[in-house]
Amino acid sequence: MDAVTLTTQVMTILTPVLPYLTSAGTAIAGKIGEDTYQQAKKLYETIRTRFAKEPDDGKASKALQAFVDDPDLSGSIEIKLQRLIQSDPHFANTLHQIILTGPRQSLTADEDAEVRRIRMTNTAGSGDQDIKGGKRSKIEDVEMNIKHE
């Protein structure tokens, strides 16, 4: 998975849950979904730990805390996160594995298979959807959505 896509997925999962990770905690988890809350919490802790290792006199950690306090400050976090994902394959893989623990919808069309009119909808607000086609397979009219309800 490329750095831009992974960064976008991480921010999409993390941003709506961020206000609850450091304040109200698990009391709010029921409202947003325990799985979504736990996934966002793992992402946040992984990012916080990695940012703390940066040799920048704590600037990355301070930027992350500022983002927690004000999610409108996401721009600098996205840039830093994307750079670290590009330069640290282990970190990137860890984030990817956490994302894969969310709801996953997958369709595989083997050789010569024809797949039409597929609708995948995930209302958990996070997760992963993919379609894979084998040799000479035909995949048409597919709609995939991940949204908050």
pLDDT digits (tens, 9 = 90+) for 104-144: 677 788 888 898 998 888 776 666 677 888 889 999 998 88
Please compute the mean of the pLDDT values over residues 5-20 and round it to a whole number. 85
pLDDT of residue 31: 52
Residue 89's contacts (CB-CB under 8 Å, 6 or more residues apart) are: none
Q: How far apart are the first and last CA of the chain?
A: 27
- Output 2 or 47, whichever has higher pLDDT: 47
Distance of alpha carbon 5 from its chain centroid, rounded?
9
Tokens of 90: 């282990």
Please compute the mean of the pLDDT values over residues 9-13 and round it to a whole number. 87
pLDDT at 52 exceeding the cut of 90: yes
Q: What angle do CA 93, 44, 129 make, to 5 degrees?
A: 50
* CA distances to 106, 110, 121, 122, 129 from 139, in Å: 13, 11, 17, 20, 15
pLDDT at 26 exceeding the cut of 70: no
Q: Report the share of the chain in percent with pLDDT over 90.
A: 32
What's the pTM? 0.66
Q: Report the share of the chain in percent with pLDDT over 70.
A: 85
pLDDT at 32 exceeding the cut of 90: no
- Output 5 or 129, whichever has higher pLDDT: 5
CA distance 56 to 73: 19
* Beta carbons of 120 and 143 less than 8 angstroms apart: yes
* Beta carbons of 64 and 37 less than 8 angstroms apart: no
CA distance 130 to 123: 16
Average pLDDT score over the chain:
83
